[in-house]
Amino acid sequence: EYHLISGSSPLLTGSSVLIFAVINLNILLILLLGFLVLRNLVKLIFEDRKNILGAKLRTKLVIAFVSLSLIPTILLFMVSFQFLRTSIGYWFNIKVERSLDNAMTIGRVYYDGRVTELQHMSQKMCKVLSLKCVKEDNSIDSVCIEQLVNPTPLLPGTHVFSSIIPFSSIEVINPTHKELLVKIWLPLVDEPPCIPPSVLDRIFEGKDSLVYSVNLEGGELIRVLSPLRNTDGGIQAVLALGHLMPQDMSRLLDGIRSGYEDYRQLRLFQNPIKGSLLITLFLITFLIIFVSIWFGFRLAKSITEPVQVLAEATHRVALGDLDFSLEARGKDELNSLVRAFNVMTQDLKEARRRTEETSRQLQKSYGELEQRRRYIEIILQNITAGVISIDRQGIVTLMNRSAESILDMSSDQVIGKPYLQLLTEDQATEFEEIRQELSLSPKGMIQRQIRMEVKEKPLSLLASFTILRDRDGRSLGVVIVFDDLTELEKIQRLAAWREVARRIAHEVKNPLTPIQLSAQRLRKKYLDKLDDEARAVFDKCTNTIISQAKELKHLVDEFSNFARMPAPRLRPTRLDDLADEALAIYRDGYTKIEFRLEVQDDLPEALLDPDQIKRALINLLDNSVASMPDGGEIKIQITYNSAVNEICLSVSDTGPGIPPEDIPRLFEP
């Protein structure tokens, strides 16, 4: 370890912590006082801007007190600051600093001189020892080294280094770090501890020279470590040359170093000390300002508080709070004003009581009217007929739930808008004609049946238009009451069809028996006389005639008895066979049309009424054939979804499709 006398040492931890603690404490106190001062000033500014009673007087008193205290405080601050700066300048005089620097330089030069001499001596000794004491096999001759470095000559002609070198100890260490080849000490030197292996490793790793020092009872022993190389340049050993610096000299150098470091530490704390004192002056200044502001607030409060209480009471009265009274604490003019204020609040309280009684009666009357209005509104919302009200300007003002349901629109989309914006051009023209007719009606009411479409859905409405008039006979608008006749007309048509079906059923039933008997007779007479191909066709056709005649007879019986479709007779059936039978009826008769049947491979049987499903297929095929007189394609597709156990049968064609106006009537006769 190489101790330079000029090296830096750690700062005194206790002193630095104390100084910085004082500085931080002063800063915190300044921030606290600054916050309190700023808070009071901001409060004063806001009270002044809000025109709070007494704010003007409070502001004037605070400004007066701050002005009276701030001027002498600033003068005292400036004088104190100048005095502190001058005093601190004398503490750190340039002459003292220069003397300490010179003493430190002398000690450093002396110390560095001893180290440099040892380094030169060590290098020379390493060269001589390498030439004389390294054998041909690169081993070290320890006897040769001891003869050369021993202070007493043992052999004639041997060069003794100690006669020209002021050293105190010589050590030669081999690379194992465990064995000292040569160890020589002067009588005045106590045997020091061994050199640590970590220090020796730095030499063996290739470092040319290393200084290592250790403190002994007799002084500081400075060792210079140098490598002892062989003829190949390898390191065979380490030479440690030591010099003992006397204890008195070492103590003097330590004293110079300690004094210099103490002064340097104070020099480092020059600005923090100056800053701490400056912060203390700021703290005193802020404290004086804060006390001035606080005293101004207290004085202003004692003057303005009674008036402010009266002003707040007046504000409470303005807000309607009359259930309080102010306490009069004296007989001066201000307390007379307080007593007069209490009398005024009692008078206002009595007047408000009478006003509230009148208001309750009015609210009761209004509640009855509102309840009646809500009752009428509830009736309008719950009647089955649609109701729409339009004022004189043509604005929709009312629409009940039935009207929303019939017209399929929300009242939010209608109320508050002109009715003409909600109608198409044809509807607006028709409504204008109705309005003109209504204005000419002596009763002020007309009734019309209106057919219209709402979102492509045909509607048949029976509407009643009535003019609303006030007591003076002036028109207030029009109310429209309408009923949806669409379902009623549909029911009437179905009833008519049922009656027709009953009457026709009897006439249809009569020829069915001869048809069935004729088909059975043909089978009996000609089935066995035909060849195989003709027999198959003949058998299939006659069976179809017989089965369809039976089904028609059953259908006619159901219509005759109940005027309804026959009840289903469910049994396991393969839909693909049923569809193939239905297509077989049309394939030979319609050659221009291509009939296709697509069936999924794993199609299972389904529980259904085969006769009714077949009639439905024939009905769909009839419609498809009728829509394609010039030919086309008809496809029946049957798929099966095993995940939900569902069979889907679809019939599609290349015809023009179903007109939109006929879609609502698909299931009518």
C-alpha angle with apex 440: 434 to 441, nearest 5 degrees?
A: 85
Instruction: Convert 605-621 to b/e letters by CB count within 10 Å (16 or more is b).
Output: ebebbbbbbbbebeebb
- Evaluate if residue 333 carries a pLDDT over 70: no
Within a 10 A sphere around the Cβ of 585, how many other Cβ atoms?
Answer: 17
CATH (residue range 126-253) = 3.30.450.20
C-alpha angle with apex 650: 644 to 654, nearest 5 degrees?
A: 150
Q: What is the pLDDT of residues 351-371, one digit of tens each?
A: 888 888 888 888 888 888 888
Amino acid found at 578: L
Sort residue 177 into left (φ over 0), alpha (ψ -120 to 50) or beta: left
- Evaluate if residue 173 carries a pLDDT over 70: yes
Question: What tokens were used for 504?
Answer: 């026709």
Handedness of CA 104, 110, 111, 112 (dihedral sign): positive
DSSP single-letter state for residue 529:
G
Q: What is the pLDDT of residues 384-431, one digit of tens each?
A: 788 888 888 889 888 888 888 888 888 888 888 888 888 888 888 888
If you compute the radius of gyration of the chain from its CA atoms, what whole number of angstroms results? Answer: 62
Q: What mean pLDDT value characterizes the chain?
A: 76
Bridge pairing between strands 210-216 and 219-229? antiparallel
Sheet holding 593-599, edge to edge: 593-599, 632-641, 646-653
Give me the pLDDT at residue 38, please.
Answer: 76
- Evaluate if residue 9 carries a pLDDT over 50: no
383-484 shares the fold of 126-253: yes
- Evaluate if residue 153 carries a pLDDT over 50: no
Secondary structure percentages of the chain, helix, strand, coil, to 5: 60, 20, 25
How far apart CA 119 and CA 108 sit, in angstroms, is 16
Using alpha carbons, list the distances in angstroms from residue 260 to 7, 97, 108, 267: 11, 9, 12, 10
- Evaluate if residue 538 carries a pLDDT over 60: yes
Tally the C-alpha atoms within 13 A of residue 88's C-alpha that lie toward its C-beta. 19
CATH (residue range 570-669) = 3.30.565.10
C-alpha angle with apex 192: 229 to 241, nearest 5 degrees?
A: 30
Q: What is the pLDDT of residues 185-225, one digit of tens each?
A: 665 556 677 777 777 778 777 777 788 877 777 677 788 88
The answer to whether 179 and 172 have CB atoms below 8 angstroms apart is: no
The overall longest dimension of the chain from CA atoms, in Å, is: 166
Q: Which of 189, 175, 257, 255 is nearest to 223 (CA)?
A: 189
Q: Which of 390, 391, 396 is nearest to 415 (CA)?
A: 396
The answer to whether 640 and 601 have CB atoms below 8 angstroms apart is: no
How far apart CA 325 and CA 341 sit, in angstroms, is 8
C-alpha angle with apex 601: 600 to 606, nearest 5 degrees?
A: 70
The most confident of 74-88, 443-457, 558-572, by mean pLDDT: 443-457
How far apart CA 125 and CA 145 sit, in angstroms, is 10
Mean pLDDT of 638-666: 84
Interhelix angle 247-268/94-133, nearest 10 degrees:
130
Sort residue 408 into left (φ over 0), alpha (ψ -120 to 50) or beta: left
- Evaluate if residue 551 carries a pLDDT over 50: yes
How far apart CA 310 and CA 53 sit, in angstroms, is 10
- The helix or strand, by DSSP H or E, that contains position 547, with its residue range, turns out to be helix 532-562
Question: What tokens were used for 330?
Answer: 């004296």
- The helix or strand, by DSSP H or E, that contains position 445, with its residue range, turns out to be strand 445-454
Mean pLDDT of 521-536: 80
> Minimum mean pLDDT among 49-58, 60-69, 413-422: which range?
49-58
Residue boundaries of the structural domains of the chain: 126-253, 322-382, 383-484, 570-669
The answer to whether 73 and 81 have CB atoms below 8 angstroms apart is: no
Greater confidence (345 vs 38) lies with: 345
Question: What tokens were used for 644?
Answer: 């939900």
Greater confidence (2 vs 67) lies with: 67
Bridge pairing between strands 606-608 and 180-185? unpaired
Mean pLDDT of 222-238: 78
383-484 carries CATH number 3.30.450.20: yes
